[in-house]
A and B are shown apart, each in its own frame.
Chain A
Amino acid sequence: MNPTPVPLTFRLLQAATPLLFLMVVLVFGLLEPRFFSFSNLQGILLQSTATALVAVGMTFVLLVAGVDLSVGALMFVGAALAGKLILAGQPVALALAVMLAVGVVGGTVNALLVTRLRLIAFVATLGLLHVGRGLGLWITQTRAMNLPDSFLQLGSAQWLGLPLPLWLLSVVVLAAWTLLNRTPFGRHLYATGFSEEAARKAGLPTRRIIGLAYVLCGACAGLGGMVALAQLGAVSPSFGEYYEFEAITACVLGGISLFGGRGQVFPGPILGAVLVKSLFNGLVMIQADPYLFPVITGAVIFFAVGVDSLRARWLQRWNQRPIYLTDPV
Chain B
Amino acid sequence: MSSAPSRPAAAAWVTPLRSWAGSDFFVLVLSAVYFLILTPLAPGFASTGNALSLITSLLPLLLLAVGQTWVLVSGGIDLSVTATIALTSVLGGLAVNEVSGWLGSGPFAIPGAILLMLAAGAGVGFLNGLAIARLRMPPFMVTLTSLMFFSGVAVWLTQSQPIGSLPPTFTAFGGRLGWALPVAALLTWVAHLGLSRTVLGRWLYAVGQNARTAEVSGVPVRTVTVCAYVVSGLLAAVASLFLTGQAETASPVLGQRMLLDVIAATVIGGVSLYGGQGRILGVLFGVLFIRLIDNSLNLLGLNFTLILMTKGAVILLAAWLDGWRRQLARMA
The reply, when asked whether chain A contacts chain B directly with Cβ atoms under 8 A, is yes
For the complex, give the distance between the alpha carbons of A316 and B63 in Å: 39
CB of B68, distance to nearest CB on chain A (Å): 13
Q: Could you tell me if B137 and A137 are in contact, using CB atoms closer than 8 angstroms?
A: no
Q: Could you tell me if B260 and A138 are in contact, using CB atoms closer than 8 angstroms?
A: no
Interchain CB contact (< 8 A) of A124 among B138, B149, B303, B319: B319
Render B145-165 as a binary contact track against A, CB cut-off 8 A, 1 for contact: 111110111011001100000
List 12 A–B pairs whose Cβ atoms lie within 8 Å, in order of A's numbering.
A117-B323, A118-B323, A119-B316, A119-B323, A120-B267, A142-B305, A291-B155, A294-B152, A298-B149, A299-B145, A301-B148, A305-B142
Q: For residue A259, which residues in chain B have a CB less than 8 angstroms away from its CB?
A: 138
Q: For residue A132, which residues in chain B have a CB less than 8 angstroms away from its CB?
A: 312
Known: A138-B303, A258-B140. A292 touches B152 (CB 8 A): yes
Interface centre among B141, B306, B315 (most CB of A within 10 A): B141
Render A117-142 as a binary contact track against B, CB cut-off 8 A, 1 for contact: 11110111011111111110110001
Number of A-B contacts (CB under 8 A): 132
Is residue A302 within 8 Å, beta carbon to beta carbon, of the partner chain?
yes
Interchain CB contact (< 8 A) of B307 among A134, A294, A298, A301: A134
Q: For residue A131, which residues in chain B have a CB less than 8 angstroms away from its CB?
A: 308-309, 312-313, 316
Looking at chain A's contact residues, is the secondary structure mostly helix, strand, loop, or mixed? helix
Q: For residue B305, which residues in chain A have a CB less than 8 angstroms away from its CB?
A: 134-135, 137-138, 142
Q: For residue B142, which residues in chain A have a CB less than 8 angstroms away from its CB?
A: 302, 305
CB of A233, distance to nearest CB on chain B (Å): 23
For the complex, give the distance between the alpha carbons of A286 and B271 in Å: 46
Which of A31-39, A161-169, A244-252 makes up part of the contact surface?
Answer: A244-252
Q: For residue A297, which residues in chain B have a CB less than 8 angstroms away from its CB?
A: 148, 152
Known: A123-B267, A298-B145. A133 touches B136 (CB 8 A): no
Q: Which residues in chain A, 246-300, are within 8 Å of chain B measured between CB atoms?
A: 248-249, 252, 258-259, 289, 291-295, 297-299
Is residue A113 within 8 Å, beta carbon to beta carbon, of the partner chain?
yes
Q: Could you tell me if A291 and B145 are in contact, using CB atoms closer than 8 angstroms?
A: no
Which of A11-19, A151-159, A189-197, A306-314 makes up part of the contact surface?
Answer: A306-314
Q: For residue B155, which residues in chain A have a CB less than 8 angstroms away from its CB?
A: 291, 294
CB of A267, distance to nearest CB on chain B (Å): 20
Q: Could you tell me if A294 and B267 are in contact, using CB atoms closer than 8 angstroms?
A: no
Known: A127-B315, A134-B305, A306-B131. A298 touches B263 (CB 8 A): no
Q: Could you tell me if A294 and B315 are in contact, using CB atoms closer than 8 angstroms?
A: no
Is residue B135 within 8 Å, beta carbon to beta carbon, of the partner chain?
yes
Interchain CB contact (< 8 A) of B152 among A133, A135, A295: A295
Q: Could you tell me if A130 and B145 are in contact, using CB atoms closer than 8 angstroms?
A: no
Q: For residue B138, which residues in chain A have a CB less than 8 angstroms away from its CB?
A: 252, 258-259, 305, 309
Is residue B281 within 8 Å, beta carbon to beta carbon, of the partner chain?
no
Q: Could you tell me if B312 and A302 are in contact, using CB atoms closer than 8 angstroms?
A: no
CB of B138, distance to nearest CB on chain A (Å): 5
For the complex, give the distance between the alpha carbons of A310 and B305 in Å: 43
Render B124-139 as a binary contact track against A, CB cut-off 8 A, 1 for contact: 0000000100011110
Known: A130-B311, A258-B138. A245 touches B316 (CB 8 A): no
Give the interface of A toward B (CB within 8 A). 113, 117-120, 122-124, 126-135, 137-138, 142, 245, 248-249, 252, 258-259, 289, 291-295, 297-299, 301-302, 305-306, 309-310, 313
Q: Could you tell me if B145 and A305 are in contact, using CB atoms closer than 8 angstroms?
A: yes
Interface centre among A122, A142, A248 (most CB of B within 10 A): A122
Is residue B181 within 8 Å, beta carbon to beta carbon, of the partner chain?
no
Q: For residue B144, which residues in chain A have a CB less than 8 angstroms away from its CB?
A: 245, 248-249
Q: For residue A252, which residues in chain B have a CB less than 8 angstroms away from its CB?
A: 138, 141
Q: For residue A309, which residues in chain B have a CB less than 8 angstroms away from its CB?
A: 135-138
Q: Could you tell me if B146 and A302 are in contact, using CB atoms closer than 8 angstroms?
A: yes
Is residue B264 within 8 Å, beta carbon to beta carbon, of the partner chain?
yes
For the complex, give the distance between the alpha carbons of A129 and B147 in Å: 18
With CB as the reference atom, state the residue of chain B lying closest to A132: B312
Is residue B236 within 8 Å, beta carbon to beta carbon, of the partner chain?
no
Known: A119-B320, A310-B135. A130 touches B308 (CB 8 A): yes
Is residue B109 within 8 Å, beta carbon to beta carbon, of the partner chain?
no
CB of B207, distance to nearest CB on chain A (Å): 17
Interface centre among A117, A249, A289, A298 (most CB of B within 10 A): A298
Q: Could you tell me if B148 and A294 are in contact, using CB atoms closer than 8 angstroms?
A: yes
Interface centre among B146, B155, B308 (most CB of A within 10 A): B308
Q: Could you tell me if A128 and B312 are in contact, using CB atoms closer than 8 angstroms?
A: yes
A134-B308, A135-B305, A297-B152 known, 9 other contacts, Cβ within 8 Å: A117-B323, A123-B263, A123-B316, A130-B260, A134-B307, A292-B152, A294-B152, A298-B147, A306-B137
For the complex, give the distance between the alpha carbons of A145 and B326 in Å: 45
For the complex, give the distance between the alpha carbons of A249 and B305 in Å: 28
Interchain CB contact (< 8 A) of A313 among B136, B148, B306: B136
For the complex, give the distance between the alpha carbons of A217 and B179 in Å: 48
For the complex, give the distance between the alpha carbons of A129 and B315 in Å: 11
CB of A236, distance to nearest CB on chain B (Å): 15
Q: Which residues in chain B, 190-247, are within 8 Å of chain A measured between CB atoms?
A: none
CB of A79, distance to nearest CB on chain B (Å): 15
Q: For residue B135, which residues in chain A have a CB less than 8 angstroms away from its CB?
A: 306, 309-310
For the complex, give the distance between the alpha carbons of A291 and B148 in Å: 11
Is residue B273 within 8 Å, beta carbon to beta carbon, of the partner chain?
yes
